[in-house]
Structure 1
Amino acid sequence: MTGGADKTALDMVYAAETEMQLAAAYAAWANGYDTETAALGYCLPFLIAAWVARHVPKGEGPLLDAGCGTGLSGPYLQALGYDDIEGLDFSEEMLELARARGGHSALTQAALGGPLPWADRHFAAVFSTGVFTAGHAPASSLDELVRITRPGGFVIFTVRDVVLEAGGFQDKFTELVATGRWQAVEESPAFRAFAVAEPDVLVKAYIFRVV
């Protein structure tokens, strides 16, 4: 790890093999998360707003920030005119910081990969960034995100390059297209998740329209 951040914290996150270990890693890191990732130039929570603004008209209905962490994306989407943004994260410590930041209309503790506590077709769009990476939420999470997004709505997210094939994400994309649940809209080129450090950490952004 470079850039002067806490190597142990990020190493614990990437080394987690169970949901319990990952929760413990984020609990230990929560208070230093924002300053340490900022030092690395972590840009995904802010960049995701560009894809939301490109595809989702304001006033269409509630959005879900799936894996919202400390709530970094919320205030920037609010500045762009999106005022009904709910947040989801499995770490209560992260949600406490998101709550203090005030960028979400509601915050829910739950884990991606399992059932989510919303009705079918509830959201106009869901977005998720930095969550589909090594040791984190599985590709199967996309099934629930599609379920809770209304037809014509969007699922917008980033995927780390090292899990795109190995984690089954590409297969899940193909399955959801083949079964008529969503249509591909946009796929970005690979780009750096950290503007300052970690040049080998590459992600792509994906946008699908729910059918």
Structure 2
Amino acid sequence: MSGRMSEGLEKVYAARATDELAEAYSAWADDYDRETLSLGYCLPFVITAFIARYVPRKDSLLLDAGCGTGLTGPYLAALGYSRLAGLDMAPDMLAIARNRGCYADLTVGVLGNPLPFADEQFTAVFSTGVFTEGHAPASSISELARIVRAGGHLIFTVRDSILEKNGFGREIETLVGSRDWTSVEESPLFRAFAIAEPDVLVKAFVFQRSMA
């Protein structure tokens, strides 16, 4: 990291266990939007471009996995996506997301654990800013894939520093090599923050589940 992070971001990156991470995000909830947006955090908005490129608006049910305060929600609603659910580990973050008025359902849950959703429940599942240092494990990818419908899409970003660590590369290769999934797009690396932290780079991945 370059320069000084916000206090909230420092506590998040200092967390060493899931419960510590959830507590750090809950404590940060009231200041999260102001602090991250002042740094130019753009992933909640960039992800809408990948969704709009591949996911039809009509009758699509989307899950924002790791939705935080729900920054993405209003922009998906503006693009015509009216059926949106959210999942996050921090109830205080979900309370803010709920106040945005565009998530029909919000669930407390931890990526890396079994999720409280049925097989093939969602038209598309997306997750951005979650697969980064000290956050959700690579095993989350297969669990997110489980809840995508036939013909649906799984869209997520991964921090460059963990792409080849902790099983992320292996999980992505498994999807690439699976007959059930097709790799639709793999973006070049791009900045997660438009203003600060120029060394924080991510890559976006888009997969589509086969119809059969």
TM-score, normalization by structure 2? 0.95
Aligned pairs (5 A) from 1:49-64 = 49-64=48-63
Give, in angstroms, the shift of residue 59 of structure 1: 1.3
Gaps of 5+ in 1: none
Aligned pairs (5 A) from 1:59-78 = 59-78=58-77
Q: Does 1:131 align with 2:130?
A: yes
Q: d(CA) in 1 for partners of 2:3 and 2:155?
A: 29
CA contact (8 A) 1:192 1:201 kept: yes
Q: Which amino acid aligns with 2:179?
A: G
- Equivalenced residue count is 210
Q: d(CA) in 2 for partners of 1:111 and 1:148?
A: 15
Aligned pairs (5 A) from 1:78-93 = 78-93=77-92
Deviations 1:32-78 (A, max 9, x none): 00000010000000110000000001114210000000000011000
Q: Which amino acid aligns with 1:121?
A: E
Q: Which amino acid aligns with 1:146?
A: A
Deviations 1:85-114 (A, max 9, x none): 000001001001101111211100001111
Q: Secondary structure at the residue paired with 1:36?
A: helix
CA contact (8 A) 1:146 1:155 kept: yes
CA contact (8 A) 1:177 1:183 kept: yes
Q: Does 1:29 align with 2:28?
A: yes
Q: What residue number does 2:116 align with?
A: 117
Give, in angstroms, the shift of residue 11 of structure 1: 1.3
Runs of 4+ in structure 1 over 4 Å off: 1-5
Q: d(CA) in 2 for partners of 1:49 and 1:167?
A: 27
Q: What residue number does 1:198 align with?
A: 197
Q: Which amino acid aligns with 1:87?
A: G
Residue 164 to residue 145, structure 1, CA distance change in 2 (3 Å): same
Q: Secondary structure at the residue paired with 1:97?
A: helix
Q: Which amino acid aligns with 1:32?
A: D
Q: Secondary structure at the residue paired with 1:12?
A: helix
Q: Which amino acid aligns with 2:114?
A: P
Give, in angstroms, the shift of residue 181 of structure 1: 3.3
Give, in angstroms, the shift of residue 156 of structure 1: 0.5
- Of all paired residues, the percent bearing the same amino acid is 59
| Two-structure CA RMSD over aligned residues (Å) | 1.4
Q: What residue number does 1:166 align with?
A: 165
Q: d(CA) in 2 for partners of 1:167 and 1:42?
A: 25
Q: Secondary structure at the residue paired with 1:158?
A: strand
CA contact (8 A) 1:5 1:39 kept: no
TM-score, normalization by structure 1? 0.95
Gaps of 5+ in 2: none
Q: Which amino acid aligns with 1:33?
A: Y
Q: What residue number does 1:13 align with?
A: 12
